[in-house]
Amino acid sequence: MESVRVRFAPSPTGMFHIGSARTALFNWLYARHTGGTFILRVEDTDASRNKPEYIEVIFNGLRWLGFHWDEGPQPGGAVRGDRGPYFQSQRGAIYKRYVDQLLSEGKAYESDGAIKFRTPKTPIVVPDLICGDIQFDRTNEPDLVIQRKDGSPVFHLVNVVDDLEMGITHVIRGEDHLSNTHKHLALIEAFGAKPPRYAHIPLILNPNGSKMSKRDVGASIEDYEKEGYLPAAVRNYLCLLGWSPKDNREILPIEDVIALFDLPQVNRANARFDADKLFWINGEYFRAAPIESIEPLALEILRRHGILGEKYDHAYFRAALAIVKEKIKVGRELPDWMGHFFREDFPFDPAAAKKVFTTEGLTNLVKLHERLSQINPKDFNALTLETEFKALAAATGQKLGALIHPTRLAVSGSSVGPSLYHLLEVLGRARVLSRLERAEKEFTASPGT
RNA sequence: CACCCCAUGGAGUAGCGGUUAGCUCACCUCCCUUUCACGGAGGUAGCACGGGUUCGAAUCCCGUUGGGGUGACCA
């Protein structure tokens, strides 16, 4: 039994599209499921559109998503595998050999400086592992240009030649290639070679059903990294677009996907991109993630927003992140939720101030200030604080909320946030007292403004 | 225009001839609760349409409609 060899063959055009990522994912899953080889091949034949630095985008995207490739170019210029070169721009001699073969056998001819392949005009069946057997008529199929006037080979030719040369056993690609596959089969037959198996996966569409292009929101993988999504969450979401574990699970470890994944079970209908669901899945991963695993991501985002500099209180940052991460779903929410931890001049939410910094609210702040200042700094923890709050509420005959809401706003500027007692504990006695004082001063003169 | 693919609530899906059509997101209500989030209990909402086949169809066949793809000296 021959071992599976699959490839991901992107063009370096400047971004890593979510559809490409899903194609890469399914290839990678199939390779891992079968114990086969996952190959990266760079289709950079269109010199006008491809730039060398764009290759880094592909490397980074694959690396971020955790799709390690067994063969192909590596970052830094190294190469793995003995079927290279893996850049089509470096395989000109190989393509020429195949074109010459077709020419010498009369299966191709010159026309206006270009070289055209004589396509068969008889019906053909394209067998597909996902779509089934598909018939194509081909009666009016025009001959196919395989080499341009300038001597460069076109996609259909290089794609087929490389799959043959690299021993690809399964071509797993987007359904947009399904209608072109009969051309590939014709070329392979002309070369007298054995075709790989094909599996065309459904496309990812916009929420409105249109084709997802580069400019559409959510199309770029780099954006997810920037916005603080977790790669495992994005990967998990992508698995669910066109594939299902069939046991009602939504969140599942990639190992389970690898074990369950197979081509015949891939869906045939296009799927629409749903940012809400990705958001939810990310929240599941975010909350379950160990604090250390999201620290770098959080640090990067907070620094990008100018909230943290090179130097910062590591323990304080970590403690703050720990209570915040329970409440949010994606890294991009971090600046809003954590900004106040690192500056004393944070603004107060005006609407919330109007509502809770009333005369009564401010009076409570004063009482609280007095009470909390009695606590020994080393006892300033969530448990003690809860006791104090409850004691004051009981003593003044108020509901706990009457104390909690003004306090939260006073120490964080916001009406939403982590568990208040834990928030106060993380801030520490000194910060809490000074923040209470600041709110008292700023609002006592004109309550509720 | 031609050819190809597809069609379960708003979105992703389970279902593969007999189910009160299941699950997740989103939305709504309630509970929990210091806010938010989580968690819990409910709710709104679906087999595109029309013909067949069959005792019986979301499941099989045909047509229609709708959506997507391909038809490049782009990939």
Q: What is the ipTM, given to two decimal places? A: 0.95
The pLDDT value recorded for residue A446 is: 65
Work out the mean pLDDT of chain A and round it to a whole number. 94
Q: How far is the CA of A323 from the C1' of B34 (A)?
A: 15
Calpha distance A112→A125 (Å, rounded): 32
The pLDDT value recorded for residue A13 is: 85
Q: Where are the alpha helices (DSSP H) in A66-116?
A: 92-104
Has residue A332 got a pLDDT over 70?
Answer: yes
Spell out which residues of A between 350 and 379 contact strand B, using CB within 7 Å.
none
- As given in the structure block, the two tokens for residue A418 are 């982590």
What mean pLDDT is predicted for residues A327-348? 96
The pLDDT value recorded for residue A84 is: 79
pTM: 0.94
- As given in the structure block, the two tokens for residue A262 are 């197979």
Residue A143 is given by DSSP the state: P
Spell out which residues of A between 124 and 143 contact strand B, using CB within 7 Å.
131-132, 134-137, 142
Catalytic, A246? Answer no
Calpha distance A137→A218 (Å, rounded): 38
Calpha distance A110→A401 (Å, rounded): 84
Q: How far is the CA of A200 from the C1' of B1 (A)?
A: 26
The pLDDT value recorded for residue A37 is: 98
Contact status, residue A49 vs residue A18, Cβ threshold 8 Å? no
Contacts of A272 (CB under 8 A, 6+ apart): A204, A205, A206, A207, A209
- Closest CA-bearing residue to C1' of B70: A179
Q: Decide: CB of A346 under 7 A of nucleic strand B.
A: no
Q: Decide: CB of A54 under 7 A of nucleic strand B.
A: no
Spell out which residues of A between 287 and 316 contact strand B, using CB within 7 Å.
287
Give the residue carrying structure tokens 């200030």: A369
